């Protein structure tokens, strides 16, 4: 397997400017450790950087984020078409629009997506109170919201709702929940995990997205983790998942030969003073990439 790690230095659509530094800090401090640990053909493919630095809400910041996700989409599509597995290190979660639009643009078949996140990120400009674009990427990938983002892949939706699952949501609004329900998206909230346990929930979700005829991907937002153990995120939410337990379960999942891309986002070094979150990245990536 050939792997290219690509940084998405995004923060304009997010909640804190520090997350644009995440890819560079990862590369300087953790990439070589991961490279030594994994017996795979891996390279660092550089970064896609946003053209502005300040936080900007929709619609003012839409043109900056649109330019960024277009360039990221182009890079991801090129990597996929050359038979490489793109692994995106973000950056605020608006980068997902570029990642998965690029995957969709490189394939003729429907792609599945496992969205592991404390938030649903399924607002549109009509429902968002904050108007931050990092709260809208999943809706855009499912074909809802600003058409400039929804049509980026050249399809009605970059991700087929039949093969999309959200795991770990514990902070979301009613409009997001109703949208995902209307679209038929499977959602496993924190309450579902507490009731059933994470192992069966994750296994069930993984099996479902892996049914997609065009393969599948994983978008992992670090704020799904407990902020007591992983504080380096822009929007921490209490009572998250334990990093070691999640990594162990991710390592156990099957069908990784059908992965089309991976994404770990919202790493914010400015809120990670002791490096706790940064040091988790290699083990999470290893777990996602390692085959059983």
Question: Residue 39: its pLDDT value, please?
Answer: 62
Between the two ends of the chain, the Cα-to-Cα distance in Å is 15
Locate the domains of the chain by residue range: 2-289
**Residue 189 pLDDT greater than 80, yes or no:** yes
> pLDDT band at 34, cuts 50/70/90?
confident
Largest alpha-carbon pair distance within the chain?
47
**Residue 50 pLDDT greater than 80, yes or no:** yes
Q: According to CATH, what is the number of the domain 2-289?
A: 3.40.800.10
Task: Give me the mean pLDDT over the 82-93 stretch.
Answer: 98
Token readout for 276 is 């706790």
CB-count burial class (<10 Å; 0-12, 13-18, 19+) for 182: exposed
Task: Give me the mean pLDDT over the 120-136 stretch.
Answer: 98
pLDDT per residue as tens digits for the range 244-289: 999 999 999 999 999 999 999 999 999 999 999 999 999 999 999 9
**Residue 77 pLDDT greater than 70, yes or no:** yes
**Residue 228 pLDDT greater than 60, yes or no:** yes
| Residues 61-86: b if buried by 16+ CB within 10 A, e if exposed | bbebbbebbbbbbebbbbbbeeebbb
pLDDT per residue as tens digits for the range 92-116: 999 999 999 999 999 999 999 999 9
Whole-structure pTM value: 0.97
**Residue 90 pLDDT greater than 60, yes or no:** yes
Q: Give ∠ CA 145-119-205 in degrees, rounded to 5.
A: 95
Question: Residue 122: its pLDDT value, please?
Answer: 98
Q: In the chain, what percentage of residues exceed pLDDT 70?
A: 99
Contacts of 225 (CB under 8 A, 6+ apart): 233, 240, 241, 242, 243, 246, 277, 280
- Mean pLDDT in the chain? 96
């Amino acid at each position: 397997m050939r792997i290219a790690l690509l940084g998405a230095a995004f923060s304009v659509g997010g909640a804190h400017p520090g997350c644009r530094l995440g890819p560079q800090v990862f590369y300087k401090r953790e990439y070589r450790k991961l490279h030594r640990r994994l017996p795979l053909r891996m390279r660092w493919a550089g970064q896609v950087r946003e053209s502005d630095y300040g936080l900007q809400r929709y619609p003012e910041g839409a043109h900056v984020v649109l330019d960024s996700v277009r360039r990221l989409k182009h890079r991801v599509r090129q990597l996929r078409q050359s038979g490489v597995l793109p692994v995106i290190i973000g950056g605020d979660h608006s980068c997902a629009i570029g990642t998965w639009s690029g995957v969709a643009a490189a394939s003729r078949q429907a792609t599945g997506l496992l969205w592991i996140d404390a938030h649903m990120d399924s607002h549109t400009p009509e429902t968002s109170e904050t108007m931050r674009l990092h709260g809208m990427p999943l809706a855009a990938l499912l074909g809802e919201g600003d058409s400039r983002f929804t049509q980026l892949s050249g399809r009605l939706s970059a991700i087929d709702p039949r093969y999309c699952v959200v795991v770990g949501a514990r902070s979301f609004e009613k409009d997001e929940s109703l949208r995902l329900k209307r679209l038929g998206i499977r959602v496993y909230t924190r309450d579902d995990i507490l009731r059933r346990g994470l192992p069966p929930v994750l296994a069930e979700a993984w099996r479902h997205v892996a049914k997609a005829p065009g393969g599948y991907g994983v978008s992992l937002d670090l704020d799904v983790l407990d902020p007591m153990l992983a504080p380096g995120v822009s929007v921490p939410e209490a009572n998250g998942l334990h990093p070691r337990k999640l990594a162990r379960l991710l390592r156990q999942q099957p069908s990784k030969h059908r992965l089309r891309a991976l994404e770990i986002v919202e790493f914010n070094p400015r809120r990670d003073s002791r490096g706790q979150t940064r040091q988790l990245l290699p083990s999470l990536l290893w777990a996602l990439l390692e085959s059983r």
